[in-house]
């Protein structure tokens, strides 16, 4: 920094005394040495030793307060549109407002408003917009995002194994507030091979570390990475990581989920199917998810066939899709002609030592732990993996229990208790007596009668509480009319089972 200041002080006087052509040459040398922006270099060299800018051009103001005040009124009348739209609207708006005597502009002010550019309109209204509470929109098309090429679902063609789509699945439950665990999902385009790993927090360096671990588990080299436009992917850290590893880094179009159809399908068919929609947060949940994915990756990639779209043909408004026969990712990888013999031998060796029933048992055990971790009242089911024979025998009757995956069980919600004291606790016996004597009375009539009995004690706002209580009493009364009391029910049982009753065709009695 000291060298730059010395160079600036040495060149500033010569720059101010030089001609236009010589100033250009001095600027070229100064920018090349210091790395300054050219405009900043020009301002620096124009300053005298005291720091004051020499020869600064003070342009007179074209638009005064009268034009600005009129512009604010027109902007509000146009419902606060942007500068470009307001520029096109000004001739129409001014003419209409003058015709209805809403505004009376001097000819020179009217001419200056109509000659004002859209950029000048935005600059003049900038302070007004900020005071009105309008937030400035962030620029979506950043330089980093523009440097990453876009790849759609139609651009894949027939890639070799190793080109994957990546996405994050949030385990936030019903609310996205606070910190929660997310799952990074990688899906290979050619084979459908899927790898999952939990992310404790959304952080780009942690994402790069987890991606390194997933690359070790993939049976093939990672050649390409296609992500969405999430900020956890769109950053310099991941871009540099892919450049150093020789990975082709691409992205989908914003708000076009179909561009990542392969991984979006696995988000539901693998992650949501295995984990469900509960909220998971903290180290314990992340450790359980990692344990679940260690077994799930083998079960899904070796024992879960899936369809693969081959081509689509459009006929008017209808799209005809052709799919291949169902096959597991392992089968597709072995049948792929571009798979090396070493990779083919390694995955076949892994497949030979796998037991699908044991993998499913381990998955169910971890799912049980995940469900118990988030439920308000943990279930009494054992969390340890049962013996393989016991688990195999339970599969024969698992269909009778409904949802086979513990994570598919309804989330246990804590019982909501009354938080305020009962305003009718003293009057309930009297109200019940009035209701039983005259059950046709409405809640408003009962409340009016109660207020007459106890003036100033029970306000009208307790009407809703009385309505709920009356609804419960009517329900009890209806049940008593339909099914009777305990004694009546016992008598009905005797009548039904009486041997003197006439028999039906099948021998039963009524």
pLDDT at 73: 92
Of residues 75 and 56, more confidence is placed in: 75
487 confidence band (pLDDT: 50, 70, 90) = very low
225 and 252 in a common domain: yes
Neighbouring CB atoms inside 10 A of 127's CB total: 11
294 and 202 in a common domain: yes
Range of the domain at 110: 65-131
58 confidence band (pLDDT: 50, 70, 90) = low
pLDDT at 507: 39
- Residues constituting the chain: 510
- What integer is the mean pLDDT of 488-492? 39
**Residue at 423 is within a domain:** no
Alpha helices in 35-161 (DSSP H): 38-46, 65-77, 83-99, 107-115, 118-124, 126-131, 143-147
Residue 503 has pLDDT above 50, yes or no: no
C-alpha 78: how far from chain center: 34
**Residue at 51 is within a domain:** no
Do residues 270 and 296 touch, judged by C-beta distance below 8 A? yes
Share of residues in the chain with pLDDT > 70 (%): 85
295 and 166 in a common domain: yes
Neighbouring CB atoms inside 10 A of 307's CB total: 13
324 and 248 in a common domain: yes
Q: Which residue has the tokens 């890639």?
A: 159
pLDDT at 88: 94
- What integer is the mean pLDDT of 472-487? 74
Residue 345 has pLDDT above 70, yes or no: yes
pLDDT at 496: 36
57 confidence band (pLDDT: 50, 70, 90) = low
Residue 501 has pLDDT above 80, yes or no: no
96 and 183 in a common domain: no
C-alpha 469: how far from chain center: 42
Residue 139 has pLDDT above 60, yes or no: no
Residue 489 has pLDDT above 50, yes or no: no
Which of helix, strand or coil describes residue 334?
helix
- What integer is the mean pLDDT of 392-412? 70
334 and 302 in a common domain: yes
| Model confidence pLDDT, tens digit, residues 291-337 | 999 999 999 999 999 998 888 898 999 999 999 999 999 999 999 99
389 and 466 in a common domain: no
| Model confidence pLDDT, tens digit, residues 106-129 | 999 999 999 999 999 999 998 888
Whether the full predicted model's pTM is greater than 0.85, yes or no, is no
Average pLDDT value over all residues in the chain: 84
| Least confident stretch, 3-7, 403-407, 492-496 | 492-496
324 and 388 in a common domain: no
173 and 191 in a common domain: yes
pLDDT at 138: 53
328 and 257 in a common domain: yes
**Residue at 277 is within a domain:** yes
| Model confidence pLDDT, tens digit, residues 230-250 | 999 999 999 999 999 999 999
| Model confidence pLDDT, tens digit, residues 461-477 | 889 999 988 998 888 88
| Least confident stretch, 288-297, 355-364, 497-506 | 497-506
| Model confidence pLDDT, tens digit, residues 386-396 | 787 777 777 66
pLDDT at 156: 87
Do residues 509 and 502 touch, judged by C-beta distance below 8 A? yes
Of residues 43 and 198, more confidence is placed in: 198
346 and 362 in a common domain: no
497 confidence band (pLDDT: 50, 70, 90) = very low
Structure tokens at 382: 């054992």
360 and 403 in a common domain: yes
**Residue at 142 is within a domain:** no
Residue 491 has pLDDT above 50, yes or no: no
Domains of the chain: total: 5
């Amino acid at each position: 920094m000291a060298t730059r200041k010395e160079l600036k002080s040495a060149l500033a006087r010569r720059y101010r005394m030089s001609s236009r052509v010589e100033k250009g040459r001095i600027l070229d040398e100064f920018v090349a040495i210091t790395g300054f922006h050219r405009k900043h270099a020009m301002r620096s060299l124009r300053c005298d030793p005291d720091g004051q800018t020499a020869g600064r051009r003070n342009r007179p103001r074209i638009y005064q307060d009268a034009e600005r005040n009129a512009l604010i009124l027109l902007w509000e009348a146009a419902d606060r549109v942007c500068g470009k739209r307001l520029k096109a609207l000004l001739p129409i708006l001014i003419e209409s407002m003058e015709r209805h005597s809403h505004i009376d502009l001097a000819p020179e002010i009217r001419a200056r408003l109509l000659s004002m550019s859209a950029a000048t309109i935005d600059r003049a209204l900038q302070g007004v917009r900020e005071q009105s509470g309008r937030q400035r929109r962030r620029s979506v098309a950043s330089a980093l995002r523009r440097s990453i090429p876009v790849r759609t679902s139609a651009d894949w063609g027939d890639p070799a194994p190793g080109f994957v789509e990546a996405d994050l699945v949030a385990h936030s439950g019903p609310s996205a507030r606070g910190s929660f665990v997310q799952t990074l999902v990688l899906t290979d385009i050619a084979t459908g091979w899927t790898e999952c790993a939990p992310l404790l927090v959304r952080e780009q360096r942690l994402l790069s570390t987890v991606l390194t671990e997933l690359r070790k588990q993939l049976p093939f080299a990672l050649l390409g990475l296609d992500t969405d436009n999430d900020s956890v992917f769109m950053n310099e850290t991941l871009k540099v990581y892919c450049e150093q590893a020789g990975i082709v880094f691409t992205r989908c179009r914003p708000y076009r989920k179909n561009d990542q159809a392969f991984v979006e399908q696995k988000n539901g068919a693998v992650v949501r199917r295995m984990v469900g929609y509960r909220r998971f947060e903290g180290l314990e949940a992340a450790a359980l998810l990692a344990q679940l994915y260690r077994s799930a990756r083998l079960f899904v990639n070796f024992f879960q066939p899936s369809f693969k779209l081959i081509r689509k043909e459009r006929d008017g408004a209808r799209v005809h899709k052709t799919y291949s026969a169902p096959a597991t990712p392992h089968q597709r990888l072995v049948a792929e002609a571009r798979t090396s013999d070493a990779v083919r031998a390694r995955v076949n060796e892994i497949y030979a030592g796998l037991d699908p029933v044991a993998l499913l048992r381990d998955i169910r055990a971890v799912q049980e732990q995940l469900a118990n971790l988030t439920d308000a009242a943990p279930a009494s089911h054992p969390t340890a993996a049962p013996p393989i024979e016991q688990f195999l025998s339970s599969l024969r009757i698992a269909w009778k229990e409904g949802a086979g995956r513990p994570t598919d069980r309804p989330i246990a919600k804590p019982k909501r208790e009354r938080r305020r004291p009962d305003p009718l606790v003293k009057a309930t016996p009297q109200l019940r007596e009035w209701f039983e004597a005259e059950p046709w009375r409405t809640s408003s009539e009962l409340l009016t009668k109660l207020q007459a009995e106890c003036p100033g004690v029970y306000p009208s706002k307790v009407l809703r509480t009385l309505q709920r209580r009356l609804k419960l009493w009517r329900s009890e009364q209806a049940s008593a009319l339909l099914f009777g009391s305990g004694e009546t029910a016992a008598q009905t049982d005797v009548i039904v089972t009486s041997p003197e009753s006439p028999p039906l065709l099948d021998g039963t009695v009524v």
